[in-house]
């Protein structure tokens, strides 16, 4: 929830007439060490993307990828010109993507505001939306 708050993934708004917000659920996971002990507990809020309708909630679902040939050419240039290659990992990659469609989601359980009639209008993508890998 802290990451979602920091990335301003949604705004609480009054629901528009005729729109049905999609649901969400919490997915809980235990990370186990090599010795079998629990290292950490993780929780992730995911949308119930299977309720989305094409043409209403999303248009395209493809995600852009690089061809292997392109990566080889890039690495050949790196070697030829003696460049440095840096690799980075973004922990909240999906939360940093923005969606173009107006998608409304129910408030997450355990984090509802006092006005339960409000819904979350998504500004950023969260796990399990159809278009999340594209954004």
| Residues 7-31 pLDDT 10s | 787 888 888 888 888 888 898 999 8
19 domain-assigned = yes
Contacts of 58 (CB under 8 A, 6+ apart): 52, 101, 129, 130, 131
Reported as type and span, the H/E element at residue 109 is: none
Percent of the chain past pLDDT 90, that is, above it, reads: 14
First vs last C-alpha separation in the chain: 20
77 domain-assigned = no
Between 74 and 94, whose confidence is greater? Answer: 74
Based on the structure, what is the number of domains in the chain? 1
pLDDT score of 72 more than 90:
yes
Taking the complete model, does pTM exceed 0.85, yes or no? Answer: no
Domain coverage including residue 16: 2-62+91-122
């Amino acid at each position: 929830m802290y990451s979602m708050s920091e990335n301003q993934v949604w705004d609480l708004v009054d629901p528009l007439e005729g729109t049905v917000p999609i649901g969400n659920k919490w997915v809980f996971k235990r990370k186990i060490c090599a010795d079998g002990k629990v290292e950490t507990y993780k929780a992730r809020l995911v949308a119930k993307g299977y309720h989305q309708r094409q043409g209403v909630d999303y248009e395209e679902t493809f995600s852009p990828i690089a061809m292997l040939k392109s990566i080889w050419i890039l690495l050949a240039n790196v070697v030829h010109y003696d460049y440095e290659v840096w690799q980075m990992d973004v922990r909240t990659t999906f939360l940093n993507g923005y969606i173009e469609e107006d998608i409304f989601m129910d408030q997450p359980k355990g984090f509802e505001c006092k006005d339960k009639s409000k819904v979350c209008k998504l500004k950023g993508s969260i796990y399990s939306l159809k278009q999340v890998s594209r954004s």
